[in-house]
Structure 1
């Protein structure tokens, strides 16, 4: 055996013994279920050579701004109507690469145990962004509580209410603050992640709840320039696994529903 051949064999063996360097990405999430699910995804992605750093944001506005600016490589916190609204308003070059989970939205109250007992003239707080506030209004219309103008799409506003027979007083607050208003209002429309953070059980405590089938399934978003990069497929494949699905079903007991 020649010395050159021996050296080549040693180098090749060393290359095989050295694991490939992991690629690191930052993913923006909101606290609660999205962050918890990404922790489960993170362990699987690590086995596939992708190191995920989870960055938590307490509102719905910053994660897209941070992604568009390049401070994040992806985010996982929003649904398509919300992303479409953000892109239209702010010109973000952000694209959906996968669907994740659905959080059926609920109406909650500390004062009333059922919707039937909510009185005339009750005060209702809803999120002040067009997508989530509109989502509550559509839920109320679906349950026969009020009526909206025809063809309002997924982003109706208070101005689109055409019939409010119980004369509900609707106040708009930041989505992250809706659960905190429960001490001051009669009922509140609260996104599931904020409800769980506040110790509410979306299955047991919601006195009205959204139909889980609809356009509000959450998603993973990346910059348009990155959507075909190999790490995107690794991220999506790591998320869409039986292990993560089982984690979602076991951990959240119907409050959060997997899309795959």
Structure 2
């Protein structure tokens, strides 16, 4: 991701808490999540970390770390894949995972607001997946028909993110003050735009399959990659990356935020080899935080 995120208002408390814990001098005393669970190290002296992730790109990135970097850092990663956004935080809060890697700060904030017993902390940003507006029929935004039906993710944080992209692209208008105080726009904030489009919320994972029944859809980067949308559909617009608050990062239970093994895993996710892997594998759709890459100016066509 390009640009300075220091001024982004989203999730400062969560990110700040994670950063402070990582910088603390008590790392050794904290121990690792696995050690506290009584698992310790394996026969090779590696500490096991069980990490939940959605398949693309998160699990692929973790597999690259496991296959190329983890052992030298004294770690063994057990990667647990989830196909939706609902389970990994619950599994982490209940102690079934040591960490998860799949979400943004606004998504975590939304989860914690609805699950007050969960004590989870965001460690740091790792990468950004640019949202895209995709269509199987229209070649650009001007080709969308009046009254076009556009699918958007149905969870609060990603829906607001999709509405911002549509507003920035001139497809819809948002009511004045819809983004005030760091709030996330909702369907009630949509005002009639030049196309008079119909906004249809759909579960994020289902949007690529629903595209054939829609005029267009705003799709999360990971689900677009899983469905090969950059190769099989037209990308009509891309989310901007400058000061974008929607980077994805590592999340742990708050008590583990400063654990030595979590710190090592976070360092590996930010290593030059992982950055190079992201840039080569996904060609600007998955953007390492702090990287120079940017999404394509326009999406591929059939």
Scaled by the length of structure 2, what TM-score is found? Answer: 0.77
TM superposition shift of 1:97? 1.0
1:53 aligns to what SS in structure 2?
Answer: strand
Separation in 1, partners of 2:44, 2:210:
50
Separation in 2, partners of 1:205, 1:252:
17
Match in the other structure for 2:147: 121
Separation in 2, partners of 1:236, 1:227:
10
Quick check: 1:131–1:154 contact (8 Å CA) kept in 2? no
1:29 is aligned, of 42, 53, 56, to 53
Separation in 2, partners of 1:59, 1:163:
32
Structure 2 counterparts to residues 195-234 of structure 1, below 5 A: 195-201=224-230, 205-213=234-242, 214-234=244-264
List gaps (5 residues or longer) in structure 1. 1-18
Structure 2 counterparts to residues 90-129 of structure 1, below 5 A: 90-91=115-116, 92-129=118-155
> Aligned-residue CA RMSD in angstroms?
1.8
1:40 is aligned, of 64, 82, 92, to 64
1:201 aligns to what SS in structure 2?
Answer: helix
Separation in 2, partners of 1:123, 1:205:
16
Match in the other structure for 2:28: none
List gaps (5 residues or longer) in structure 2. 1-42, 291-302
For the pair 1:155 / 2:184, whether they are aligned, the reply is: yes
2:123 aligns to what SS in structure 1?
Answer: strand
TM superposition shift of 1:230? 0.8
Quick check: 2:138–2:234 contact (8 Å CA) kept in 1? no
Separation in 1, partners of 2:89, 2:46:
25
TM superposition shift of 1:151? 4.3
Separation in 1, partners of 2:132, 2:283:
15
Instruction: Pick the structure with greater CA Rg.
Output: 1
Quick check: 2:178–2:189 contact (8 Å CA) kept in 1? no
For the pair 1:59 / 2:89, whether they are aligned, the reply is: no
Note closer, same or farther for the CA distance 1:26–1:107 as it changes in structure 2 (3 Å cut). same
Separation in 2, partners of 1:256, 1:24:
27
TM superposition shift of 1:208? 0.8
Q: Over residues 155-178 of structure 1, what are the superposed CA-to-partner deviations in whole Å (9 max), with x where a residue is unaligned?
A: 211111133331111111110000
Quick check: 1:135–1:154 contact (8 Å CA) kept in 2? no
Match in the other structure for 2:36: none
